[in-house]
C-alpha cells in the first residue's frame, strides 16, 4: 500500500486515464480528490466527462477503501481550481500528490496555418495552462510541508512531432518544459515534479476512454479500424493499456521514487526510441 496516509488530487478523473489512475491510487491506499469538468466545452468537438462518470469513478474508489471528494472543475478557471484545492485541504488536511491528467486532443487535424486563434488558445489553456494552475495552487503548501509529488500527464507528442496536431504537440512539449522548471524550483523543498508520456492508449470500455478514437477522427482514420492502425505503429505491436500508465503514475507518486524529479517517463511501447 504505497500511498497509505496520502491524499491525491487527480484532474480529468471521470473516465479514461483519469479513472484508471484513480483506481490504481485507491488500490495503494490513497484518499482522493477527483476533479473533472463534468460538462462539454465550446470548441471541443466531442463529449467530455460527465457528472455520472465522475460519480462512478468515485464509487469504484470508495469500494476499494478510499475516502473520496469530488468536484466539477474547469481548469481554465483559476477560481474554480482554487476552490477545489481548498476543499481538498479542508476535507483531508493535506495534499501529497497531484496528477495533472485533464486534457483534450481536439480541435486538431489541421495544418499550422489553418488553426484559428480560438482553437490554439483553447488547446494551450487546457492542456498546458491547466497544469500550471494546479501546480500554482498546491505549490506553496507542498513547499511548507516539505514534501509532495506532482505528476504531469504529457504524451509522446511532448517528445516528437505529429502532423496536423501542432496545438497539441506544442502544449505537451510545454508540459515537459513546465515539469523540468518546476522540479528545479521545488527540489530544495523536497517537492518532486515528473511527467509521464503515454503512447497510443487503448480506449478501454471499463474506463470509458475515448481519446484514441478522437485522435483517429482528427487524422481521418476510420474508427473501427483505428486500433489496428495505431498498433502497427508500435514497436511492441500492442496498444498501451490505461493500467500501464496508471502504474507509472503510482510509482512517481510514491516514496519509491523519492529521488526522482524532473524526469520524463515514457510508457509508449518503444515508440519514441526510434
φ, ψ of residue 28 to 5 degrees: the values are -95, 5
The alpha helices in 64-152, defined as continuous H runs, are 78-92, 117-124, 130-145
Q: Which residues contact 96 (CB under 8 A, 6 or more apart)?
A: 3, 6, 7, 8, 147, 148, 149, 253
Q: Which residues contact 120 (CB under 8 A, 6 or more apart)?
A: 167
One DSSP character per residue, the chain reads -TTTT-EEEEESTTSHHHHHHHHHHHHTT-EEEEEE--S--TT-SS----HHHHHHHHHHHHHTT--EEEEE--TT-HHHHHHHHHHHHHHHS---EEEE------S--B-GGG--HHHHHHHHIIIIIHHHHHHHHHHHHHHHHT-EEEEEE--GGGTS--TTBHHHHHHHHHHHHHHHHHHHHHGGGTEEEEEEEE-SB---TTTT--HHHHHHHHTTPPTTTHHHHHHHT-TTSSPBPHHHHHHHHHHHHSGGGTT--S-EEEESTTGGG-
Q: Which one from 46, 162, 168, 186 is the annotated catalytic residue? A: 168
Catalytic: 89?
Answer: no
- Catalytic residue annotation: 168
Amino acid at each position: 500500500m504505497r500511498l497509505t496516509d496520502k491524499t491525491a488530487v487527480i484532474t480529468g478523473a471521470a473516465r479514461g486515464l483519469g479513472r484508471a489512475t484513480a483506481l490504481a491510487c485507491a488500490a495503494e491506499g490513497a484518499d482522493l480528490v477527483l476533479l473533472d469538468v463534468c460538462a462539454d466545452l465550446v470548441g471541443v468537438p466531442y463529449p467530455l466527462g460527465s457528472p455520472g462518470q465522475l460519480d462512478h469513478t468515485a464509487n469504484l474508489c470508495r469500494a476499494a477503501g478510499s475516502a473520496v471528494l469530488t468536484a466539477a472543475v474547469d481548469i481554465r478557471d483559476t477560481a474554480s481550481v482554487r476552490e477545489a484545492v481548498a476543499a481538498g485541504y479542508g476535507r483531508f488536511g493535506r495534499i501529497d500528490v497531484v496528477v495533472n491528467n485533464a486534457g483534450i486532443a481536439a480541435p486538431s487535424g489541421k495544418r499550422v496555418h489553418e488553426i484559428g486563434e480560438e482553437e490554439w488558445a483553447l488547446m494551450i489553456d487546457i492542456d498546458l495552462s491547466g497544469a500550471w494552475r494546479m501546480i500554482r495552487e498546491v505549490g506553496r503548501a507542498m513547499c511548507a510541508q516539505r514534501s509532495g509529488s506532482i505528476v504531469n500527464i504529457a504524451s509522446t507528442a511532448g517528445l516528437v512531432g505529429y502532423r496536423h496536431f501542432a496545438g497539441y504537440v506544442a502544449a505537451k512539449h510545454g508540459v515537459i518544459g513546465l515539469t523540468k522548471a518546476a522540479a528545479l524550483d521545488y527540489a530544495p523543498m523536497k517537492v518532486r515534479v515528473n511527467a509521464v508520456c503515454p503512447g497510443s492508449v487503448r480506449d478501454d470500455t471499463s474506463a470509458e476512454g475515448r481519446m484514441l478514437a478522437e485522435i483517429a477522427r482528427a487524422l481521418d482514420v476510420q474508427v473501427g479500424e483505428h486500433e489496428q492502425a495505431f498498433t502497427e505503429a508500435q514497436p511492441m505491436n500492442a496498444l498501451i493499456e490505461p493500467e500501464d500508465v496508471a502504474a507509472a503514475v503510482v510509482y512517481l507518486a510514491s516514496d519509491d521514487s523519492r529521488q526522482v524529479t524532473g524526469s520524463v517517463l515514457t510508457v509508449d511501447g518503444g515508440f519514441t526510441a526510434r
